[in-house]
Structures are given as C-alpha cells and as structure tokens.
Amino acid sequence: MPMNAPSSSSRKIVWPSVITVVSAAILIGAEVFGAAFAGGWALAILLGLGDQAAHILQAVLFALGVLVMTAFVRGAQRVEPFFKRG
C-alpha cells in the first residue's frame, strides 16, 4: 500500500453525494458544451466569418466550458462532500 494512500477505515466514499454531483455534471456539461459549439457556429455566421473561424470560436468557447465545469464540480464538492471521515 502506498504511503500517501488513506486507509479504508479513515475515509469512506459518500456514494449518494458522488452520484448527485456526477449526474448534475453530465446534465450541465451537455448544456455547456452544446452551447459552446452552437454559439461558436452562430457567432461566426453573425460576424460573417468562415468555417475555420467558426472552429476557432468553438474551441475557445469549449475551453471556457471546461473552466465552467471545473468550477461547478469543485463548488458541488464543497456542498456535497465525496468523502467522510470515520
């Protein structure tokens, strides 16, 4: 057993919290990333840009979506902790 690994008796996974956060992340992620791709496409058309610019906009919005999802999961872990001591 690695030195840094917690013993199974000191921390237990709180499965209802994990399932809640993962389920919400899947739902919100689908919306965030769908909006990123659709928004990049729509902005490119609105601004009269070509296909390559649309792909660049989509990539930028996708990266922003990753930041949003990271912030969401971290915030959700504070509200619904994944581990319980005991």
For 4-14, how does the pLDDT look when each residue is reduced to its tens digit (9 = 90+)? Answer: 655 556 889 89
Q: How many distinct structural domains can be found in the chain?
A: 1
The domain containing residue 66 runs over which residues? 17-79
For 18-38, how does the pLDDT look when each residue is reduced to its tens digit (9 = 90+)? Answer: 999 999 999 999 999 999 999
For 40-62, how does the pLDDT look when each residue is reduced to its tens digit (9 = 90+)? Answer: 999 999 999 999 999 999 999 99
Per-residue confidence (pLDDT) for residue 10, from 0 to 100: 80
Q: Which residues pair with 84 in a beta bridge?
A: 12
- What is the reported pTM? 0.74
Chain centroid, CA 85 distance in Å: 26
Q: Does any domain span residue 3?
A: no
Per-residue confidence (pLDDT) for residue 9, from 0 to 100: 61
Q: Does any domain span residue 8?
A: no
Other C-beta atoms within 10 Å of 16: how many?
A: 9
